[in-house]
Amino acid sequence: MSYKSIVSALTAQSATETTKTLIDTITVPQGVKALVGVGAQINGAGTTTLEGLGAILELESDDMSPWSGTQQFLINGMVNGNGAGWAALNPYIHPTNIPVTAGAHIKCSTTFDLAQTINPSCRVQLVFE
């Protein structure tokens, strides 16, 4: 059994938005049959106010069957140290077993829970088997 892990580009998100924002579109690699892990990482320069950070990661595909619409995952929340920067949390990899089609495209987006005082950046990791 072999695994293929793909990490997306680090994409800036708008601090004032709590709407879905595209991070990246990932092409499913050849030789895999399932998406077995999903994770996301949020990066941000130190903030000047105490604020929490949480988001939803959404995966969508228009050209993959069987894909049952949008798949949603929680991104670990974190709280900053009031000017000292955000506490670092290791990205959590959600275990999954979602059938995929090689060559199909998966759009990866985030929706933040709250508007932020800085512009965070996000990346996503998909693990295939």
pLDDT value for 51: 65
Please state the pTM of the whole predicted model: 0.83
pLDDT value for 36: 97
Which amino acid belongs to residue 18? T
123: left (phi over 0), alpha (psi -120 to 50) or beta: beta
Domain that holds residue 43: 4-128
Domain count, the chain: 1
pLDDT value for 47: 53
pLDDT value for 50: 61
- Distances in Å between the alpha carbon of 73 and those of 7, 69, 79? 16, 13, 19
**pLDDT digit string (tens) for the chain, length 129 residues:** 678 999 998 888 776 667 888 999 999 999 999 999 999 988 766 555 566 677 899 999 988 877 767 899 988 765 555 555 555 556 689 999 999 999 999 999 988 887 766 777 888 999 999
**CATH assignment of the domain containing 34:** 2.60.120
